[in-house]
Amino acid sequence: MAKAAAKQKQGVYTAGRRLRFLSYNIQTGTTTSSYRHFLTQSWRHVLPHSQRIENLTGIAHMVRDYDVVGLQEVDAGSLRSGFINQTEYLAARAHFPFWFHQTNRKFGKIAQHSNGLLSKIKPSEISDHKLPGLPGRGALFARFGHGSESLVVVILHLALGQRARMRQLSYVAEVASDFKYVVVMGDMNCKPDSKELRQLTQHSDLHEPLEDLYTWPSWRPQRSIDHILVSSSLRVEKTQVLNHTFSDHLPISMEVTLPDIIKLPA
């Protein structure tokens, strides 16, 4: 890891506050432990089932020690979730004072497909971005602090097709280029050495500190498709995949030390 005195683009790095980030595709609280379950238990994605609340309670217990949590495949309150906004539910159970959701695909009362943010720090700004490509994909931008020395966190869930992902990450790189301190996390549906992630890192200040963290499928992880990328101005202390099988994905976590110039609410 970089030393505290490592040079940055502007001056000498002076360590400040440490934050713990977590990114997790929770598959609306549905456990999958075999490929065949995608077929035999497909009804769980459109109808309520008792295991969902049990899983959400387990997820709430797991995330409560983090500062900022990015969620993908959360339901905003429909038939399948028992009309429970899952981001709100997790915030209440895990004692996060701030939560936001971005609904990208609405199927009436059947499903409300969303991204979610849980935070122990009050954001100064939240913006909802629709990503390029077919409707149904979005990015949630949260800004912490004010002015040029603020931290921006982006939560997203990218498309299944490579061409769409290329356009989506190009858009994210363009918007994120306005900020110096950025964390981008989510289910990106592509590997670290993919053309689309290489494009992102080549056209932005973002990088992935540790690659090949296998998160999918949760019962036998073989693919690295969930990622947390950071600006070079942020010092990463630790990155790991957590062995919690509440979903078909495993969660990924990162500890980051901010430069002391970033002033966040207590």
Which residues are paired to 100 by β-bridges?
Answer: 117
Nearest 5°: the CA angle 153, 141, 211 is 45
Question: Is 10 a residue whose pLDDT tops 90?
Answer: no
Count of other CB atoms within 10 angstroms of residue 113: 21
DSSP string for residues in 105-133: EEETTTEEEEEEEEESS--SEEEEEEPSS
Query: How confident is the model at residue 39, as a pLDDT?
Result: 63
pLDDT at 163: 96
Domains recognised in the chain with CATH numbers: 17-259 (3.60.10.10)
pLDDT tens column, 32-69: 765 555 565 654 556 667 788 999 999 999 999 999 99
* Confidence class for position 226, pLDDT limits 50, 70, 90: very high
Q: Give the per-residue pLDDT at 36.
A: 58
- What pLDDT, in 10s, does the model give residues 228-240? 999 999 999 999 9
Q: Can you give the pLDDT at residue 15?
A: 72
